[in-house]
Amino acid sequence: MAFPQTWEGVAVAGNPDDFGHIPVLLQRCVELLTPALTRLHPDGSEAVLVDATLGAGGHAERFLTELPGLRLIGLDRDPSALDIARDRLAPFGDRVTLVHTRYDGIEDALVESGYAASESVDAVLFDLGVSSMQLDRAERGFAYAQDAPLDMRMDPESPLTAADIVNTYDEAALAQILHRYGEERFARRIASHIVRQRARAPFTSTSELVELLYQAIPAPARRTGGHPAKRTFQALRIAVNDELDSLRGALPAALDAVRVAGRVAVMAYQSLEDRIVKRVFADAVASRTPVDLPVELPGRGPRFRSLTRGAERADAAEVERNPRSNAVRLRAVQRVEHDVEPQRQATGKGDA
């Protein structure tokens, strides 16, 4: 079942004085990741946290404030987000390294920052999806509630826009995107309407697409399940930014990056993301010993253990303060000790 789509693609007013962003599940993320970051020193000295989705830097600021010895590597594909985070995190000086990259660029970002690509950091945090800053800036084209160019790029330097998809992809490809990434049951109907409409004039704005969606989706369906544009806008955004394939590449890289006792936490806001996280984490905590063997083979035990029972949700108080947290699913794992191969027993013959 898909998660409630109450946030994806909906514009929410933000206060520029607080960076237009309220960190989701902030205290719980601190509780989950701090044990890994204070394993060597209580102040986080010698520990490294990778914030793979830095955004406005709300989570990062909290960790750097509470752990004055911590070093942070912040990644974001959005140059505007990096500029905001750079100003916000400036008081922490050289404890902060910012890298302009998608989150599946973790390995290269670590090497660029002077660390090994594997087993070199203590924790990795992901806060997936579109940020409130991006939604609040109408010119970015993420929100169907405001008229704007049909863009939806998280990185404005990326070549593909939502307008490119809507105006150039054939009907079958459009329907596939809407069905796969938006779980839109009227995907074929919408794709057909788009192709007919663009033959008269190409789509250039979000309002033009929203108007078409009102025409394409039957009236009874428009009256239930929220705004009729939400699934289409989610699907286009995911396709433009290659979000799911990026996540599939980023999670294994994050798991490889953490040291023994290191932790990885992921916040997902819709079911497509969370299914990927759930699948990757399930594989990480599973034994690699063949199921028909009665004992665990040395070196084949689980690489990680779960820190959350299933996916954790925000409580009612947080949802009231921050509606974005209503859809969040938080999962976290910890790297366990390496299995050690048993030493070959000396036979007394030919062994020193």
Q: Return the half-sphere exposure (C-beta side, CA atoms, 13 A cut-off) of residue 109.
A: 27
Binding residues for S-adenosyl-L-methionine: 57-59, 76, 103, 127, 134
- Residue among 50, 92, 54, 95 at smallest CA distance from 71: 95
Q: Where are the alpha helices (DSSP H) in 138-229?
A: 162-168, 171-182, 187-200, 206-216, 219-222
* Lookup: tokens for 78: 């959005």
Tokens of 239: 């396709």
The DSSP symbol for 268 reads: E
The DSSP element (H or E) to which 334 belongs, if any, is: strand 329-335
- Calculate ∠ Cα 301-303-306, nearest 5°: 110
Find all residues with CB under 8 Å of 52, minimum gap 6, and list them: 75, 103, 106, 124, 125, 126, 250, 254
**Which residues make up each annotated binding site?**
57-59, 76, 103, 127, 134
User: If you ran DSSP here, which 8-state letter would residue 324 be given?
Assistant: G
How far CA 149 is from CA of 77, 101, 141, 210, 228, in Å, comes to 20, 24, 6, 12, 19
